[in-house]
Structure 1
């Protein structure tokens, strides 16, 4: 099945995220790439992301998974600011070493009411995943 073409580029998605969450986008996750059926989001590293033990916290990884899925929905469904997370299931695969977090989200299904996404997160490289999430968004209808 061919991936759906995006309706927005990275700059357009970042602008929508800034509209939806004023002030959060500065210094937070940024969409760096949009391609058919995929987005890449980078969350700059900060010491405040660490948990005891020196790895990036689980809530940070969950937030990035959700943000990447939302960005993917916006990129492919357009201005759908009222899309909401209806399900998020995450597997923590290894401790995320300190460093910029990268999330790559892939659209598994984009329907009229639901968007289903796969999100993979890493700091050390895509061959050393820190987490993988399945995220479903309910679309306004």
Structure 2
């Protein structure tokens, strides 16, 4: 299956459709069924103790699964999360961005299933792992 949206197209899509959070995320690389992106961490992403919060890591995993799906099917803004399981494995390194590597495991007509690994930038030890399922809106019938 061919890539429909590259990194530039996905970043533009986020700025157009999700202005409220677009500045938090940046797509670095898109390959067939894979995406690498980052959470541009700031003070609003931190929890007491100065580490990146769980909800911020969840958001990164969710956006990565969404965008790897769109990379393969095109700009369908109404694709939605139907399931997510996330394991937090270690404390993220303070003061650095988080990197998500998402891999599309299955892409069907109605659902996509994605595995996402999250790392502190510069580290090869994962801080979280998530499995997400997205519902894909049906094609419009003319």
Taking structure 2 as the reference length, the TM-score comes to: 0.90
Q: Name the structure 2 match of 1:80.
A: 76
Q: Deviations over 1:13-53 (max 9, x none)?
A: 1111222212431x310111101110011111212222112
Taking structure 1 as the reference length, the TM-score comes to: 0.91
Q: Is the 8 A contact 1:5 1:35 kept in 2?
A: no
Q: Name the structure 2 match of 1:139.
A: 136
Q: Name the structure 1 match of 2:126.
A: 129
CA RMSD of aligned residues (A): 1.3
Superposition deviation, residue 5 in structure 1: 2.7
Q: 1:89 aligns with which of 70, 85, 90?
A: 85
Q: Is the 8 A contact 2:119 2:126 kept in 1?
A: yes
Superposition deviation, residue 65 in structure 1: 0.4
Q: Is the 8 A contact 2:99 2:121 kept in 1?
A: no
Q: Provide the C-alpha distance between the structure 2 equivalents of 1:124 and 1:23, rounded to a whole number of angstroms.
A: 24
Any gaps of 5 or more consecutive residues in structure 1?
none
1:41 aligned onto 2:37: yes
Secondary structure of the 2:126 match is: coil
Q: 1:52 aligns with which of 48, 52, 56?
A: 48
| Number of matched pairs | 137
1:110 aligned onto 2:98: no
Runs of 4+ in 1 over 4 A off after TM superposition: none
Any gaps of 5 or more consecutive residues in structure 2?
none
